[in-house]
């Protein structure tokens, strides 16, 4: 599984990656900035996500909405932020490539002259409302807030959510936000992928023409932190306006691309992905203790976590679900997956790789994957080596990963229960911190 590409670095430090694909008359423009909420500081959180909004509000030479001109030219576009990176992408007809590059380069090099107090205040209100909608007023929405607080100590870059803390956003000043942009959103901390209906030489010419005169920006020092530890079986509870209790179990796990990361990805599939998965079959189908169940490895650059989530069926609490999960995790650690489970997991992994490469642009398309591997591995062509992490994994590798990481005495168990029904939570649970 090889995606041909050419990579060069402009004089200002911007890495440019080009992949030719002339099947359709479209080009994907994909920009990654190696900055996310992990680059923020306690008391000044939410800036990276805030810029996801602000960078669509206009720049010095196009001081108005970003979507209009590109959509009128037939483009699709979007952006996203997580703890580790920020990305923006456009998929444009070939004849609109110059427009996309001009607008993308203008907000990289000339956003701050157009970033006024009025725009800042407006988008800050939008973000605060987004937090209310997605976390504070959504059923089970505070679960991830509580889990982040419990998994990572105060001061750790993953202790807060990417959307930031309301008090931090309210207290932020425009000059602080300007400073954050100047530190991270520049060619030296970015990479650009052009993929699709364009010749390689022409792609590099356009990249140099539009981005080459932007100042490189300061060197960005990578974030370094000690690996967090969980002391004991931490049990917390949140009362929420929900109908059914829900259980969240989480363990610290290897960081993205570290040994054990892919193995736990496969473990999540074996435990809960599909109707033949162990936990789904026992807890949802056979015993009907749970309405649903999920298990997954949440891979991040500094430190990951493995999580199992189950919603109790009517008339049931969470202790029986916890006991069933623990029983299957212990069994998997002792015996490893069966041959059939390994084969199914491998097919699912290979399918997910192929699905991501069906599109040239957008989230997880070929252009996005080239950028992800470039930023995280300094190797845009990491596709085959990434897939080999799954293909080469054995049953004993998965059992060892479960033995090492999914230990009951080093986990966080969060019960989200209806208001006034703490009796449905796991015994010994204490009030979670959500503010």
Residue corresponding to tokens 């992408």: 89
Could you tell me how many helices (H) and strands (E) the chain has, helices first? 15, 12
Angle of the 319-335 helix axis to the 261-272 helix axis, nearest 10: 130
Residues 6+ apart with CB under 8 A from 80: 52, 86, 87, 363
Tell me how far the alpha carbon of residue 35 is from its chain's centroid.
Answer: 12
Query: What torsion do the CA atoms of 258, 351, 358, 89 make, to the nearest 10 degrees?
Result: -30
Annotate 233-252 with b (16+ C-beta within 10 A) or e (fewer): ebbbbbbbebebbbbbbbbb
- pLDDT in 10s for each residue of the chain, 435 residues: 789 999 999 999 999 999 999 999 999 999 999 999 999 999 999 999 999 999 999 999 999 999 999 999 999 999 999 999 999 999 999 999 999 999 999 999 999 999 999 999 999 999 999 999 999 999 999 999 999 999 999 999 999 999 999 999 999 999 999 999 999 999 999 999 999 999 999 999 999 999 999 999 999 999 999 989 998 999 999 999 999 999 999 999 999 999 999 999 999 999 999 889 999 999 999 999 999 999 999 999 999 999 999 999 999 989 999 999 999 999 999 999 999 999 999 999 999 898 888 899 999 999 999 999 999 999 999 999 999 999 999 999 999 999 999 998 999 999 999 999 999 999 999 999 997
User: Given CA atoms 232, 238, 243, 248 in this order, what sign does their dihedral have?
Assistant: negative
Residue 60 · residue 214 · CB < 8 Å: no
pTM of the model: 0.95
Query: If we measure between CA atoms, which residue out of 350, 335, 348 comes closest to residue 277?
Result: 348
C-alpha span between 406 and 417 (Å, rounded): 24
Residue 200 · residue 15 · CB < 8 Å: no
Structure tokens at 329: 């995790």
Residue corresponding to tokens 């796991």: 426
Intra-chain end-to-end CA distance of the chain, in Å: 46
The domains located in the chain, with CATH, are 6-211 (3.30.830.10), 232-431 (3.30.830.10)
C-alpha span between 58 and 64 (Å, rounded): 4
Residue 404 · residue 396 · CB < 8 Å: no
C-alpha span between 414 and 391 (Å, rounded): 33
Size of the chain, expressed as the number of residues it contains: 435
């Amino acid at each position: 599984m090889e995606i041909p590409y050419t990579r060069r670095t402009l004089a200002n430090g911007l890495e440019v990656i080009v992949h030719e694909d002339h099947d359709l008359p479209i080009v994907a423009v994909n920009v990654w900035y190696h900055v996310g909420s992990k680059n923020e500081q306690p008391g000044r959180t939410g800036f990276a996500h805030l810029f996801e909004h602000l960078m669509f509000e206009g720049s010095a030479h196009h001081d108005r909405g970003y979507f209009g001109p590109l959509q009128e030219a037939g483009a699709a576009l979007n952006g996203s932020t997580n703890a580790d990176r920020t990305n923006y992408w456009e998929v444009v007809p070939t004849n609109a490539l110059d427009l996309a590059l001009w607008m993308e380069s203008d907000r990289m090099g000339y956003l701050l002259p157009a970033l006024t107090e009025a725009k800042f205040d407006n988008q800050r209100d939008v973000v605060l409302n987004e937090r209310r909608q997605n976390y504070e007023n959504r059923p089970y929405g505070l679960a991830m807030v509580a889990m982040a607080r419990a998994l990572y100590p105060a001061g750790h870059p993953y202790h807060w959510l990417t959307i930031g803390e309301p008090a931090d956003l309210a207290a932020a000043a425009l000059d602080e936000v300007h400073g954050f942009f100047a530190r991270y959103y520049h060619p030296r901390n970015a990479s650009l992928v052009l993929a699709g209906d364009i010749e390689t030489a022409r792609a590099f010419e356009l990249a140099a023409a539009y981005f080459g005169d932007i100042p490189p920006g300061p060197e960005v020092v990578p974030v370094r932190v000690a690996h967090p530890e969980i002391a004991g079986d931490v049990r917390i509870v949140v009362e929420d306006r929900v109908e059914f209790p829900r259980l969240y179990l989480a363990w610290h796990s290897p960081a993205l691309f570290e040994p054990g990361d892919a193995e736990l990805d496969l473990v999540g599939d074996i435990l809960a992905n599909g109707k033949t998965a162990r936990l789904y079959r026992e807890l949802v189908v056979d015993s009907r203790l749970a309405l649903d169940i999920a298990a997954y490895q949440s891979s991040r650059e500094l430190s990951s976590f493995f999580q199992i989530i189950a919603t109790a069926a009517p008339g049931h609490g969470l202790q029986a679900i916890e006991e069933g999960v623990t029983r299957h995790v212990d069994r998997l650690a002792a015996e490893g997956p069966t041959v059939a489970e390994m084969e199914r997991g491998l097919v699912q992994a290979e399918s997910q790789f192929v699905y991501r490469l069906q599109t040239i642009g957008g989230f997880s398309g070929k252009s996005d994957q080239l950028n992800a591997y470039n930023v995280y591995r300094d190797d845009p062509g990491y596709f085959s080596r990434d897939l080999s992490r799954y293909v080469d994994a054995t049953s004993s590798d998965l059992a060892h990963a479960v033995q090492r990481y999914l230990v009951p005495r080093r986990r966080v168990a969060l019960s989200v229960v209806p208001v006034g029904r703490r009796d449905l939570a796991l015994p010994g649970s204490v009030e979670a911190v959500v503010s």
